[in-house]
A and B are shown apart, each in its own frame.
Chain A
């Protein structure tokens, strides 16, 4: 027995590698519990590699394919990509196929595919989202994925863990997205390059599952391989309601005496709404810095910023309000189930009454793929995760990142606006 305990990620990797324990820096080969792909980086990229080796996939039950990038098709090329994806899953006997049902990082847990302690690879850079369920889930490219599909295994460098502990109650109008933009500014986009981050503290304990997913999702913007959160009752309840099996969540917690690379502490109670200026999430600061900047487009979309919780935040601001003349508010719910739930609880009606334009569920404008892209010099405030130059359209367009609250408030005034004035009792302009 060793004196020092193991972190959560070390426990998951050791189990997947079939060894008693691993140490950061070790390169080990792991069995993969689940592999997720989407239409852009998935079948069309891996199939030529499978053909070159004359191989099929190791276990179709452990593969999930989700078409979310080129949906719905906007031209012959994207239609062909979606068609090819459908034919590929049929050919390989992949049962877990979600076609145009929403964005992979939201659909995967929504359909009960994740369980604490799993070793999961995803063919997309926001795969760290799975960490919210106590899984070690990380993004890989197509060649890596082909190797997984053929062998069921992959190599991994055991990462160090950086703890990010938040305590205190978030003020009204401040949410997980603000926490993440603040972390991007504090730690930088390489703040956790090639490490994993693990979120904890009583602020995180109190967050609903979808808000935790926002934290894990944007671990990608810290450069982290995964954004882990230990499973608790909130996790178990979510997995059960999604029809999944939570397994043994107690077994998948890090040891208290495990060595971590760094531990940073933050006070949620003093956090103001955050806005990240072009062209990096790390250009974040208090909303006051950018207040008054005119915006052409307000976008509520993506895996980061259009889950049901996100839509409810926007609705809290937009209730009884109207989008400003000269500004458009585009709304692309993260999944079809999000749209359904928002329709059932009245959230969707509130948003549409305020002037939001409802768009299909998919990656869409966030990655410059679908409808809602920007032309030269246009300014957008967006609930998405990235504002790299030219990502959402023309190279001269400007994207500011913010929470759904702040995006909604800015849509009402046509300028970047602190949402807190809309949320106070008796608020109303």
Chain B
């Protein structure tokens, strides 16, 4: 079985895309769908309307830096984003993304990717294929335990699956 995700189209952003840009504080009180529709509008007003299922976010340093609000990762997942590739991440965003079943990978060569490039990601191997240019970039690997959780759709779905299979919440240490 291939662990590779279906290819997606790249949306390219710069450095320091913070959680206030991903999930603007002014919309935090209201319905989540409303919040998601304002995702990244301060840097690209058309993003939330035009992003399609399977698309990927490509960014520079410190993606998701700022607050712990997981709506930042959730908004991207809700809009159909399948993976985020960045040179580095805010630590909490990185945890939140994986816990919500959104693939987040550190990719030092993310700057070589252009908007609209078609990308295929393999988190188990640690590689990103740029189908538009033929280039291949290294990225970090996700250990099997985390990859299982992400593939199950995130932490809650993972616990749910274990529970329904009669397994304990965690493997024995």
The stretch of B5-13, B90-98, B108-116 that contacts the partner chain: B90-98
Query: How many residues of B sit at the interface, in one of the four size bands?
Result: 35 or more
List the A residue with the shortest CB-CB distance to B43: A389
A52 touches B160 (CB 8 A): yes
Whether B16 is near chain A, meaning CB under 8 Å from some CB there, is yes
Question: What is the bound-complex CA distance between A139 and B29, given in angstroms?
Answer: 21
Q: Shortest beta-carbon distance, B82 to chain A, in Å?
A: 18
Interface string of A114-155 (1 = CB under 8 A from B): 000000000111010000000000111111101100110101
Instruction: Give chain B nearest CB distance to A104 CB in angstroms.
Output: 12
Q: Is the CB of A368 within 8 A of B25?
A: yes
Residues on A with C-beta less than 8 A from B154 are 143
B156 in the interface (beta carbon within 8 A): yes
Q: Is A18 positioned at the interface, with any CB of B under 8 Å from its CB?
A: yes
Asked if residues B145 and A150 are in contact (CB atoms below 8 Å), the reply is: no
The yes or no answer to B24 lying at the interface (CB within 8 A) is: yes
Choose, from A186-194, A238-246, A263-271, A354-362, the stretch at the interface.
A186-194
Whether B156 lies near A194 (C-beta < 8 A) is: no
- CB-CB under 8 A from A194, the residues of chain B are 88-89, 91, 94
From the candidates B16, B29, B96, name the one contacting A141 in the complex (CB within 8 A).
B96
Indicate if the CB atoms of B88 and A389 lie closer than 8 Å: no
A223-B42 Cα distance, complex, nearest whole Å? 22
Enumerate chain A residues within 8 angstroms of B170, measured Cβ to Cβ. Answer: 29, 151, 153
Q: Which of B130-151 contact A (CB under 8 A)?
A: 143, 145-146
Please determine whether B159 and A53 come into contact, CB atoms closer than 8 angstroms: yes
Chain B residues in 8 Å Cβ range of A18: 173
**Chain A residues positioned under 8 Å from B29 (CB to CB):** 77-78, 81
Which B residues are in CB contact (< 8 Å) with A125?
19, 66-68, 92
B33 within 8 A of partner (CB): no
Q: Is the CB of A27 within 8 A of B94?
A: no
Are A141 and B73 interface neighbours, CB within 8 A? yes
Contact A150 B70 (CB under 8 A): no
A169 within 8 A of B: no
Inter-subunit contact A189/B16 (CB<8 Å): yes
- State A18–B170 Cα separation when bound (angstroms): 14
Cβ of A235 within 8 Å of any chain B Cβ, yes or no, is no
Instruction: Mark A335-370 against chain B: 1 for CB-CB distance below 8 A, else 0.
Output: 000000000000000000000000000000001110
Residue contact B173 to A141, C-beta cutoff 8 Å: no
- Are B65 and A189 in contact (CB-based, < 8 A)? yes
A29 in contact with B173 (CB, 8 Å): yes
- A418–B96 Cα gap in the complex (Å)? 41
What's the least CB distance linking A217 to chain B, in Å?
A: 13
CB-contacts of B12-35 with A (<8 A): 16, 18-20, 24-26, 28-29
Q: Which residues of A sit under 8 angstroms from B37, Cβ to Cβ?
A: none
Q: Is B18 touching A141 in the complex (CB atoms < 8 A)?
A: no
Q: Does B78 contact A (CB under 8 A)?
A: no
Interchain residue pairs with CB less than 8 A apart (6): A53-B160, A53-B163, A78-B29, A124-B67, A146-B156, A151-B169
Known: A138-B91, A141-B70, A223-B65; 13 extra A-B contacts, CB below 8 A, are A29-B173, A40-B28, A41-B68, A45-B70, A53-B156, A125-B66, A147-B99, A150-B159, A151-B159, A190-B16, A193-B62, A369-B25, A390-B24
